[in-house]
Structure 1
Amino acid sequence: MSTSFEKYQKRRLISSYFSVVISISLVLFLLGMLGLLVLNTKKVADHFKEQIALSIYLKETAKEVEITQLQKSLSLADYTKSAVYVPKEEAAEKLSVEIGEDFIDYLGDNPLQNSIDVFLNADFVTPELMEEITNELLAKGFVDEVIYDKPLIALLNDNIKRISFWVLIISGVFTFIAVLLINSSIRLSVYSKRFTIKTMQMVGATKSFIRKPFIWKSIKLGVVGIFVAWIGMGVVIYSLNKTFPELLLIEQPLILGAMFLSIFVLGVFISWLSTFFATQRFLNLRTDELYY
């Protein structure tokens, strides 16, 4: 009878430890992913900004030397990420593919213009700076028109500010929830040992002596959970890097190292703190209060 009871208690203990490890690893994994999002919010925003092209349409009278000089000056400009010259023949081919028919046969002529597509560095993709660049380009006599998506840029900048704000708010809330979840799991684990705690106290053991094995056990479980979270984070980061290589996630070892270290410190600290207060609570209870 006692053997079966001991087995039952052992299974309960293992189940309790397992739930603590799973809780810690899952919460820390989600925190790590949220941290990755926060750290890369600007990079993601910059990536989208740099996909917006500023198209410079050239007059038919534009000389080849003028076009070449303009392209070179654009390539050297601080605001330029890349500048691509698009002859009207190439533009016609692309348009024909998009609409599914050769419009030149229908019109009898190519109405498109030679152009230069300029992709700007993210810091310059604002309504004010792009307007300045546009005016500067229009001052050149051989430039006919400069076109870019003004509403999209305004919307993009507004949304980036809004998203960044809410990401920070959500990060704070989620961190608080994470602490509560890990704390609850550890408290349940300690709760199953409340009678052992009280027995040790009754035979004269000091509070620090009683707390020590519980704290060490929780820290060990926390470390296991941290390593599980690390593995999950590593898999996700590797997958994201393969899917979005332009984000260069793996090529920022200092940021990744700091994030992994932060997860480790946070996991150990929460495990220690939760166990300390959980054991302290049962140490301060009277024996008859342990049954409630």
Structure 2
Amino acid sequence: MSSSYDKFQKRRLISSYFSVVLSVFLVLFLLGILGLFVVNSKKLSDDFKEEIAMTVFFSNDANDSILKAFGDELKTSKFVKSSVYVSKEAAAKQHTDIIGEDFMTFLGTNPLQNSYDIHLKADYIVSDSIRKIERELRNNVMVSDIVYDKQLVNLVNDNIKKVSFWILIISGFLTLVAVLLINSSMRLSIYSHRFIIKTMQMVGATKSFIRKPFIWRSINLGLAGSVLAVLALIATLFYLDNSYPNLGILADKLMIGLVLLGVIVGGILITWLSTYFATQRYLNLRTDDLY
């Protein structure tokens, strides 16, 4: 009879441990996904910004040496990510491919101008910086016009601010939910041992002595859940990187490493604090209040 009861108690104990590890794993995995999204959100927004091109057109008086000197200047400019020279012949061919017919056959001449397509660095894709860059480029007397989508620049920056604000709100909310869920799991685990805690206290054990095994057990469970969450996050990262290589999800290894480390530290810290306060609560209760 006692053997059957012992087996039942052992199964119940294993089930309790498994539920704690599973809850810690699921919560930290979701929190880690959010952290990785936050880390990569700036990169994604920067990549989108840097797709916006500024086109600098030159007058027909600009010779090859002037155009080459301008290109060399762009290579050393702190605000330029990349630049491409587009001759008026190449521009005419592009237009011909787009409209499906050679417009120069009835115009008799090529009205297009030599130009540079410039992609600025993301930090400079703001209205004030672009206007300053535009004024600086217009100081070149050979520049006839500068064209870029001003409305798109304003729209992108406004939307990024809104998205960043909501990401901050959602991150804070999910972090709070994660702490509450893990805390609830640990409190339930301690609740099942409340009589053991009070019995140990009644026979003279100190509070620190009683807390110690429960805290170590919770740390081990939190570590197990954290490690599982990290492994799942790494598998997710490699899957996304293989499926969408252009996103460069694994490019910032330092930030990814910090997020994964944060998951492990967070899992251990939350379970430790939850267990400490849960055991402290039952240590401070009177025996009658346990029921």
Specify the TM-score bucket, using the shorter chain as the normaliser.
0.7 to 0.9
In the alignment, structure 1 residue 53 sits paired with structure 2 residue 53: yes
Aligned to 2:285, the other structure's residue is in SS state: coil
Match of 2:85 in 1: 85
Contact 1:74-1:80 within 8 A present in 2 as well:
yes
For residues 86-125 of structure 1, what are the structure 2 equivalents within 5 Å?
86-98=86-98, 101-102=100-101, 104=103, 111-125=111-125
The CA deviation at 1:276 is 1.2
Q: Distance in 2 between matches of 1:6 and 1:245?
A: 56
For residues 167-182 of structure 1, what are the structure 2 equivalents within 5 Å?
167-182=167-182
Output the amino acid matched with 1:258: L
Aligned to 1:205, the other structure's residue is in SS state: coil
CA gap of 1:112–1:2, structure 2 versus 1, over 3 A, is farther
**Cα displacement string for residues 55-109 of structure 1 (whole angstroms, at most 9, x for unaligned residues):** 112334432222222222222222111110112343344445555x335388566
The CA deviation at 1:47 is 2.0
Q: Distance in 2 between matches of 1:260 and 1:236?
A: 12
Contact 2:29-2:230 within 8 A present in 1 as well:
yes
Output the amino acid matched with 2:124: F
Output the amino acid matched with 1:37: F
Contact 1:238-1:250 within 8 A present in 2 as well:
no
The CA deviation at 1:190 is 1.5
Aligned to 1:82, the other structure's residue is in SS state: strand
CA gap of 1:250–1:142, structure 2 versus 1, over 3 A, is closer
Match of 1:136 in 2: 136
Q: Distance in 2 between matches of 1:58 and 1:239?
A: 46
Q: Which moved more, 1:152-161 or 1:214-223?
A: 152-161
In the alignment, structure 1 residue 6 sits paired with structure 2 residue 6: yes
Q: Which moved more, 1:37-46 or 1:210-219?
A: 37-46
Q: Distance in 1 between matches of 2:251 and 2:20?
A: 30
Q: Distance in 1 between matches of 2:248 and 2:118?
A: 21
**Cα displacement string for residues 241-290 of structure 1 (whole angstroms, at most 9, x for unaligned residues):** 4425564634533x333333332222111111111111222223333433
Normalising by structure 1, report the TM-score.
0.86
Provide structure 1 residue ranges, at least 5 long, that are not aligned to the other structure.
none
Output the amino acid matched with 1:154: N
**Cα displacement string for residues 19-60 of structure 1 (whole angstroms, at most 9, x for unaligned residues):** 111111222222223333334443333222211110112334
- Show structure 1 runs of 4+ deviating over 4 A: 95-99, 105-111, 244-248
CA gap of 1:94–1:187, structure 2 versus 1, over 3 A, is farther
CA gap of 1:156–1:206, structure 2 versus 1, over 3 A, is same
Q: Which moved more, 1:36-45 or 1:211-220?
A: 36-45
Q: Distance in 1 between matches of 2:35 and 2:275?
A: 25
Match of 1:249 in 2: 250
Q: Distance in 1 between matches of 2:104 and 2:11?
A: 80
For residues 184-199 of structure 1, what are the structure 2 equivalents within 5 Å?
184-199=184-199
The CA deviation at 1:119 is 0.7
Q: Distance in 2 between matches of 1:229 and 1:165?
A: 27
For residues 230-249 of structure 1, what are the structure 2 equivalents within 5 Å?
230-242=230-242, 243-244=244-245, 247=248, 249=250
Q: Distance in 2 between matches of 1:245 and 1:235?
A: 18
Match of 1:73 in 2: 73
Contact 2:25-2:228 within 8 A present in 1 as well:
yes
Match of 1:213 in 2: 213
For residues 144-163 of structure 1, what are the structure 2 equivalents within 5 Å?
144-163=144-163
Output the amino acid matched with 1:137: L
Aligned residues: 289
Provide structure 2 residue ranges, at least 5 long, that are not aligned to the other structure.
none
Q: Which moved more, 1:178-187 or 1:107-116?
A: 107-116
Contact 2:44-2:247 within 8 A present in 1 as well:
no
Q: Which moved more, 1:33-42 or 1:75-84?
A: 33-42
CA gap of 1:124–1:191, structure 2 versus 1, over 3 A, is same
Normalising by structure 2, report the TM-score.
0.86
CA gap of 1:96–1:286, structure 2 versus 1, over 3 A, is farther
Q: Distance in 1 between matches of 2:82 and 2:64?
A: 19
RMSD between aligned alpha carbons? 2.6
Contact 2:23-2:182 within 8 A present in 1 as well:
yes
Q: Distance in 2 between matches of 1:235 and 1:87?
A: 47
Aligned to 2:189, the other structure's residue is in SS state: helix
Q: Distance in 2 between matches of 1:8 and 1:248?
A: 47
